[in-house]
Amino acid sequence: MLELLSPAGDLECLMSAVDYGCDAVYLGSTMFGMRAGAAKFDPETLRNGVEYAHAKGVRVYLTCNTVPSNDEIELLPEFIKTAYDCGIDAAIVSDIGCIALIKRTVPDLEIHVSTQAGVVNYVTANELYKMGAKRVVLAREVDIENIKRIRDNIPEDMDIEVFVHGAMCVSFSGRCLLSAFMTGRNANKGECAQPCRWKYHLVEEKRPGDYYELSEGDGGSYILNAKDMCMIEHLKELKDAGVTSFKIEGRAKSAYYTATVTNAYRAALDAVKNGEPIPKWAVDEVYKVSHRQYCTGFYFNKDDANQYYENSGYIRECDFVGVIDSCENGRVNITQRNYFTVHDDLEVLSPGKTPVKLDIPYLINSKGEQTEIANRATEKMYFDYPVSFPPHSIIRKPLSKK
């Protein structure tokens, strides 16, 4: 079975991922996760998230992929027992000691070896399998031909997971000391300040205060800034290479990002499974979220995984302006998220559907007044409409070109 694996930075993102078609989600609790800013799942929230996912047949994987110190690792047994009691389906782990400790503490819990472990060959994968690993998340530096070699030389019941979409790291498998050196925030403990996205100048030792731009153009140069990965048009090649799980990066991203990208990859992966062409609308969808320039990572031509020197900003083509809460008797109830008017070129994205145009005749605000403008954050509003949409459908508009 091919698995679509989506990120969940918080409970809203988890619900979006589940509603828009993922087979599994990965998330971080209060410790041991590589995204400290997305450590939103305390035991109560984790239990609620697991219940929501399991009710729709979606598995939940917990990230435990930091490199813990002696003091930290002593907290792992109680931490993982609590998470296991909440119903998680697997732990994503990078440290060998953590793998052994988790297997002793909760023997029935699946172990997925994180990309942070840097697995690039089948010998390593086989040794991890002997230690109890059910899955390896390969290093992003592994190309398609080497994925095939790994698949051909590991047990049939061992899964291969790879990243197919999202941010890339300049360091090998995310092993970076730059953030800790420059800011005191350790990337290997989930606190990366992303100094690889910053703009740098050159200074000569005997000329302090004289800064020389590292220039590719008028805007200087972002010498460490990586492009984003996008493999939506190449899922068949990955499937044929033996990939089991297709992973979307983005635990620090919004629920809108999670929903949109999950919906697109769901359609693309279903097309691959059915031997059909990937729908053009699904490919177009990945350009409707904030992203850097796309590339195919290291899977094909390593030259395509190069850095983007002009800037480190995001490309945005659409604004997420509202979410549909319910539709009752011809009335659409929404929660406003960003400014829009009834005159904007709006569209609705519903789970498992292509986006459709939305022509709103008027809005009724929370005071019962008719208006053409939605400009109060998270205001509850409604409008009458002849078409119903499922709950959690997204309303968005294109950004105006300046």
Query: Which CATH number covers residue 93?
Result: 3.20.20.70
- pLDDT of the residue at 177: 64
Is residue 114 included in any domain, yes or no? yes
| Shared-domain flag, residues 243 and 337 | no
| Shared-domain flag, residues 366 and 278 | no
What distances in angstroms separate CA 384 from CA 320, 344, 362, 387, one per listed residue?
21, 17, 8, 9
- pLDDT of the residue at 210: 80
Q: Which of 259, 293, 327 is the last residue of a domain?
A: 293
| Shared-domain flag, residues 105 and 155 | yes
What distances in angstroms separate CA 58 from CA 16, 17, 26, 121, 383, one per listed residue?
12, 10, 11, 30, 33
CA dihedral 383, 388, 394, 398 (to 10 degrees): -70
Q: Where do we find the tokens 């994987």?
A: 61
- pLDDT of the residue at 218: 53
Is residue 183 included in any domain, yes or no? no
Parent domain of 373? 318-398
- pLDDT of the residue at 190: 67
Number of domains forming the structure of the chain: 2
Is residue 332 included in any domain, yes or no? yes
- pLDDT of the residue at 261: 97
Q: For residues 386 and 359, give the distance between their C-alpha atoms in angstroms, rounded to a whole number.
A: 11
Is residue 259 included in any domain, yes or no? yes
Is residue 192 included in any domain, yes or no? no
Is residue 387 included in any domain, yes or no? yes
- pLDDT of the residue at 341: 96
| Shared-domain flag, residues 159 and 28 | yes
Query: Contact, 198 vs 220, CB < 8 A?
Result: no
Tokens of 285: 């969808």
Is residue 307 included in any domain, yes or no? no
CATH code, domain carrying 357: 2.40.30.10
Is residue 371 included in any domain, yes or no? yes
What does pTM read for this prediction? 0.86
Percentage helix, strand, coil for the chain under 3-state DSSP, each rounded to 5: 30, 25, 45
- pLDDT of the residue at 184: 74
| Shared-domain flag, residues 264 and 326 | no
- pLDDT of the residue at 402: 47
Q: For residues 72 and 184, give the distance between their C-alpha atoms in angstroms, rounded to a whole number.
A: 18
| Shared-domain flag, residues 35 and 94 | yes
Per-residue pLDDT of the chain (402 residues), as tens digits, is 899 999 999 999 999 999 999 999 999 998 775 555 556 799 999 999 999 999 999 999 999 988 888 988 999 999 999 999 999 999 999 999 999 999 999 999 999 999 989 999 999 999 999 999 999 999 988 999 999 999 999 999 999 999 999 988 776 666 666 666 567 777 666 677 777 777 777 777 788 888 766 655 555 566 677 889 999 999 999 999 999 999 999 998 999 999 999 999 999 999 999 999 999 999 999 999 988 889 998 899 766 556 665 666 778 889 999 999 999 999 999 999 999 999 999 999 999 999 999 999 999 999 999 999 999 989 999 999 999 999 999 999 998 654
- pLDDT of the residue at 276: 97
Q: For residues 61 and 44, give the distance between their C-alpha atoms in angstroms, rounded to a whole number.
A: 16
Q: For residues 14 and 22, give the distance between their C-alpha atoms in angstroms, rounded to a whole number.
A: 10
| Shared-domain flag, residues 125 and 86 | yes
| Shared-domain flag, residues 271 and 381 | no
